[in-house]
Copies of this chain bind each other. A is one copy, B any other.
Amino acid sequence: MTSYTVGIDIGGTTSVVGLVDKDGKIVRRKDIKTPGHPVASEFFNSLADIIEQFDELKSTSTVLNGIGVGAPNGNYYNGTIEFAPNLEWKGVVPVVELLQKRFPNTLIKLTNDANAAALGEMIYGNAKDEKYFILITLGTGVGSGIVVDGKLVYGHDGFAGEIGHTIYDPEGRQCGCGRKGCLETYASAGGLVKTAVELLSASTDHSSLRSIPTNEITSKQIGEAAQNGDIMALKAFDITAKILAIKLADSVAHTSPSAIYIFGGLANAGDVLMTPLKKYFEEYLLQIYKNKIKLTLSGLPANDAAILGSAALVY
């Protein structure tokens, strides 16, 4: 018998269903847009359809170990997504219950998408030897997974690790969560774009970004402009890095990790993000933490961490 596990990564923009073999290799992968399914049960039925169509699972000589799901505000204890600001379903979505209807005899587990990525980093990535680390995802939203003494912190209610919703400026940018000034409004892809647009409108200095209509600028374009030496794009990354560094220094003062891994779309910008981030991070760390925390990119290929981590949930 050949055994497989399904790992599902639900993102604000795209969701991915992956089929993982016993060696931790993703042998099948299928994307689906997350928005555009106002009824949650229809969305999860579409995911179930994808799983059922994997040829590997149709064979009588294969076993499905289980389905692991990573999703924004995914609750490990309840199996529900609750009040996720970046998803169109409001209130509580009973994810495990919905999938269980389609796979009645299969083990199904859910957690926060960033928690899943942290599990992936711990099992398959750079954090194999770290007992205390934080993984932070910079994408549509800003999520995090916190590992203490070799175990993911779920908290008393399953919702620990929401560093993206720590407050940088109580009078700052409006956040999708209803409050103001959350880290996410500055360090997400949309936050970087907002910072760049603010810089463009505050001066008439040259920038290659001026050739793009401001409502079409993407974080990827800002990253490319910065990599090409565009001063204003570099400045947008500098501001983003400084805010992220201040909030990560706060996180260090909670669990004192030996490493912080940066993951998600913004991480693709590479040095234009990481160079100022490392500088400001050391600057804002409390003395006792200086020069001993590794701040680095995730060790897993983009999207793999969340799928592998989600899959690892069922072990």
Contact = CB atoms under 8 A, between A and B. Distances in A.
Interface of A: 73, 82-83, 130-132, 146, 148-149, 151, 153-163, 165-167, 170, 177-179, 246, 249-251, 253-258, 284, 286-289, 292
B82 A288 contact: yes
Nearest to A163: B253
Contacts of A73: 288
Copy number in the complex reads: 2
A151 B149 contact: yes
A37 B201 CA distance: 58
A289 B159 contact: yes
A115 to B, nearest CB: 12
A253 to B, nearest CB: 4
12 contacts: A132-B156, A149-B151, A153-B254, A153-B256, A155-B256, A159-B256, A159-B289, A160-B254, A161-B254, A161-B256, A167-B284, A177-B286
B146 A131 contact: no
Contacts of A257: 155-156
A132 B155 contact: yes
B255 A153 contact: yes
Contacts of A148: 148-149, 153, 155
A163 B289 CA distance: 13
A142 to B, nearest CB: 11
Contact of A255 (B82, B132, B160, B177): B160
